[in-house]
Chain A
Amino acid sequence: MQLVESGGSVVRPGGSLRLSCVASGFNFEDYGMGWVRQIPGKGLEWVGGINWNGARPGDADFVKGRFTVSRDNAQNALYLEMNSLRVEDTAFYHCARRAPAAVIWYFDLWGRGTLVTVSS
């Protein structure tokens, strides 16, 4: 079972970026998925998620409509569309799988992350 993120790069403030995460080794369409970010050298921070059926559990306050989580079950892929990027969005963005049959959202499988750097 594996999650591999891609799409991270250097972008200017106000710019946009789309991150991807490809899943393998499990039946992707059966699981909720999400994104968690980590400022280099700092802690973890929930970004947002999407259930197996496309329903959304709620984004972090700092997202404020700037980021959108989506998925393509045919491609075993999860996406994070990020707009109006700010310097403080600089972080590693981890893709993660929601644990099945859980009342609360928590993750039981993570990717290593892709680095987004927002800088002028």
Chain B
Amino acid sequence: SYELTQPPSVSVSPGQTARITCSGDDLPKQYTFWYQQKSGQAPVLVIFEDNKRPSGIPERFSGSSSGTMATLTIDGAQVEDEADYYCYSAASGSNVKVFGEGTKLTVL
């Protein structure tokens, strides 16, 4: 079965750049999406189609993808960005849709 791999945790100080990676064999052929989920809340879409930002998402959030790895970057991370972040994509040639295991971002 298709899998997306993320690091379990990333930690930065406020104002630093946080980078969260997501690797998957089909990422060269499929878009990556990123969701933010704060404790006890619904997930929120922060990046779609590799590098597009939905309206209302701060400009410090950006996405990129190269080869089999996608990256979510938060420039100047803030305390309120502490959350779990999940990447999401689809397997090529099938109906399979998968989420990464999630990365806990700590900003302190």
Contacts and interface: CB of A to CB of B under 8 A. Distances in A.
Interface residues of A, number: 21
Given A43-B99, A43-B101, A99-B48, A113 B33 contact: no
A107 B45 contact: yes
Contacts of A46: 97-99
A44 B97 contact: no
Interface in B2-23: none
Contacts of A58: 95-96
A106 B102 contact: no
B90 interface: yes
Nearest to A104: B90
A45 B99 contact: yes
Interface in A63-120: 94, 96, 99, 104-108, 110-113
A45 B43 CA distance: 12
Interface of B: 1, 30-31, 33, 35, 37, 40-45, 48, 54, 86, 88-90, 95-102
